[in-house]
């Protein structure tokens, strides 16, 4: 290890035979001073190329490393080098890696690794000690086109019952002022029925599946896009997508 020298109070080169003690300064007149742990061998990659340790003593008087920062060469290919800082700490007597800083910041154990510049990847988020839940989207059920007297089932893959479903209608053939590709947010949990409550549809779900049930001769109503008049839509002119959502 070396200290970049020049000016008052500068240090000579440091190696394992020398100790950089408290109250010593690394200075350089008119420029930035550098502390440069590193390697000069043909080290390849990925490999640690330098470290700074933070040592102290435990209650029994033993010297312990409480924290350490490694500089790591992830890719040493000339012209496309990648570097990373690795952060290690001791928690409950166990020394382990906790976080890494490459292009982005990512926690140890987070799937997907480095998320890229300006991003953070972690296994969870807490605000003032309370875990913030994440929305997980299951496999969507699609009925294309809609049809009366039908039951459509989709395994959602969430591992537990969803908290709710997002329901969307998409126009396949223009009608009632709606164009092909137009979408309507649809509350599929409430039956859409005639005055006798004999024609309806419903969406239900359990721990494994989402179901769309459409009654015989079902007549659904939609507002005209511009006039707002109520119209019975043609089922074959629309498709429905039901996306289950669970908070974890």
Residue ranges per domain, the chain? 37-124, 137-247
Phi first, then psi: give them for residue 194, nearest 5 degrees: -85, -175
237 SS3 class: helix
Following DSSP, what letter does each residue of 83-101 receive, concatenated?
EEEEEEEEETTEEEEEEEE
The answer to whether 20 and 11 have CB atoms below 8 angstroms apart is yes
CATH 2.60.40 fits 137-247, yes or no: yes
pLDDT tens track, the chain, 248 positions: 444 444 444 445 544 455 655 555 666 667 777 777 888 888 999 999 999 999 999 999 999 999 999 999 999 999 999 999 999 999 999 999 999 999 999 999 999 999 999 999 999 999 999 999 989 999 999 999 999 999 999 999 999 999 999 999 999 999 999 999 999 998 744 445 555 555 578 899 999 999 999 988 767 888 999 999 988 889 999 999 999 999 98
């Amino acid at each position: 290890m070396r200290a970049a020298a020049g000016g008052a109070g500068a240090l000579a080169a440091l190696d394992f035979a020398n100790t950089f003690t408290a109250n010593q300064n690394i200075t350089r007149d008119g420029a930035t001073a550098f502390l440069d742990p590193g390697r000069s061998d043909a080290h390849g990659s990925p490999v640690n190329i330098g470290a700074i340790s933070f040592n102290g003593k435990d209650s029994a008087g033993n010297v312990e490393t409480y924290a350490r920062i490694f500089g790591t060469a992830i890719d040493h290919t000339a012209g496309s080098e990648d570097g990373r800082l690795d952060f290690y700490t001791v928690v409950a007597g166990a020394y382990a890696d906790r976080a890494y800083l490459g292009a982005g910041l990512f926690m140890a154990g987070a799937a997907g690794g480095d998320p890229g510049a300006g991003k953070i990847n972690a296994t969870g988020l807490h605000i003032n000690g309370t875990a913030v839940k994440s929305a997980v989207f299951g496999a969507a059920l699609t009925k294309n086109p809609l049809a009366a007297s039908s039951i459509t089932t989709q395994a959602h893959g969430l591992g537990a019952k969803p908290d709710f479903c997002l329901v969307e209608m998409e126009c396949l053939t223009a009608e009632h002022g709606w164009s092909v590709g137009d979408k309507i947010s649809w509350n599929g949990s409430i039956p859409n029925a005639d005055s006798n409550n004999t024609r309806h549809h419903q969406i239900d779900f359990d721990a494994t599946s989402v179901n769309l049930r459409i009654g015989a001769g079902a007549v659904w109503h939609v507002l005209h896009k511009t006039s707002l008049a109520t119209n019975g839509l043609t089922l074959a002119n629309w498709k429905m997508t039901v996306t289950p959502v669970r908070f974890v």
